[in-house]
Amino acid sequence: MNSPLRHLLQAGRLDRFFIDGEWVAPEGADRVAVVCPSTENTLCDIPLGNARDVERAVQAARNAFESWSATSQEERAAVLARVHALMLERSELFATALTMEMGAPISYARAAHVPLAAEHLRVARDNLRHYSFRTQRGTTAIVREPIGVCALITPWNWPIYQITAKVGPALAAGCTVVLKPSELSPLSALLFAEVIADAGVPAGVFNLVSGTGAEVGTSLALHPQVDMVSITGSTRAGVLVAQAAAPTVKRVAQELGGKSPNIVLPDADLRRAIAPGVAAAFRNMGQSCSAPTRLIVPRNALDAVNQLAVAATGQMIVGDPFAEATTHGPLANRMQFARVQQMIEAGIDEGAELIAGGPGRPAGFSKGFYARPTVFTDVRTDMKIAQQEIFGPVLAILPYDSVDEAVAIANDTVYGLGAHVQGTDMALVRAVAARIRSGQVHLNYPAWDPQAPFGGYKQSGNGREYGIEGMEEYMEVKSILGYDD
């Protein structure tokens, strides 16, 4: 196995940040352990940045902005094409890093984490090539310009996927960036910085400073030379970033928590609706903000749904993430393992019927952050497991008596990120989708679309990622009146 840890150690990357095109030593001495979730052993430790590191990175990005923003679309597209190609070339190194740092099964890292992350770069490149930065409206020119220096704060659950979802469109728009990846899953971010360097991205256009949200994240949000912050994380983290950014009136784009519903309409084919719904809820071990973890089903079909859900859960293989047969690895870190155990206990205490899984590790595991894929049924919408984001392999099945009640249940949370609707009457499916308050709705499990804008209503955040809208998030709009060409 080509170990990304050995590679980064031999290259001297683990003790460095990437600032102004160079691998530089941190200003401070604080460090944090990177823990392997399948063994609970420490893989390595990395430096934690501070406000002085942020200052260096922001100044590098500011100094590079004028020249980068003035490059042609063709030049920026060519740079993104090189980054995309190198990432695909090193895909196995990235996949192995993800399995080590956050427990993604190697088969899933290869099939989803890495190729979908690369797609964000391809889409940014392709959209840039055909995008009109100036359009005419009568005698007024509507011009879109890069917003400036962007701070990008990314999470531990989809580490490289969320990095490329921000870096690709930001660079395409003509912005320069400072990335703060999660300190819990930093290896894939360091590999990405190597790709950036080897692809010939100009110095200062991309900068990386590892660190905590409290220190590096806050310093970036406060910095007067940062024009925009894009954060993917918990709703709590998004609120803190927005509060820190408010005095400088910078743009804050937030992709935050979710508690996504999956409405199974009365005419749905249960055999086509339930097993894929369970799989969607438990993808990435349930550690996806848009995972449909509330399965909303007709009350008269509840027994059949329960049987199908239990059967689907029984097909999952929780185990060593490096084993090819494993479908679900450990949770990504100790804190998340504790959170999932706490919420499973809350479901039991509140009287939900446990039909699969439960608290504790699966049989055969005495260490590692392994959780049991868990299904509760006959859940009420006022229960914690129906309202709070668990971020683990826990599915709540909620019965309804009418379609209106199903829609009401779907909308009965503070979140509005993703949703699903299953049914055969497409007029009804579309009508129900229109009534759900969320930024994205999937009808009958369609293929993933990297061009589909993604973002939330309510406390799931604001702003959009992916596609044209994701690139426009990093732009300002200027009107030039009397511009008649």
- Catalytic residue numbers? 255, 289
Calpha distance 61→176 (Å, rounded): 5
Calpha distance 26→43 (Å, rounded): 20
Calpha distance 334→368 (Å, rounded): 9
* Selection from 17, 49, 24, 464 nearest residue 218 by Cα: 49
Calpha distance 170→39 (Å, rounded): 36
Calpha distance 41→94 (Å, rounded): 20
- 438-445: long-range contacts, CB 8 A cutoff, minimum separation 24: 438/260, 438/261, 439/464, 440/290, 442/418, 444/272, 445/276, 445/277, 445/280, 445/420
CB 28 within 8 A of CB 52: yes
Chain-centroid distance of CA 346 in Å reads 26
- Phi and psi (nearest 5°) for 104? -60, 130
Distance (Å) of CA 308 to CA 173, 312, 356, 374 = 46, 6, 11, 14
For 287-302, b where at least 16 C-beta lie within 10 A, e where not — what string?
Answer: bbbbbbbbbbbbeebb
Kindly write down the DSSP assignment for every residue of 244-270, as one continuous string.
HHGGGT-EEEEE-----EEEE-TTS-H
CB 388 within 8 A of CB 396: no
SS3 35: strand
CB 93 within 8 A of CB 160: no
Q: Which is it for strands 374-377 and 394-400: parallel, antiparallel or unpaired? A: parallel
* Selection from 210, 209, 217, 211 nearest residue 243 by Cα: 217
DSSP E strand stretches across 9-97? 17-19, 22-24, 31-35, 42-47
Element (H, E) at 374: strand 374-377
The DSSP 8-state label assigned to residue 464 in this structure reads -
Calpha distance 422→430 (Å, rounded): 10
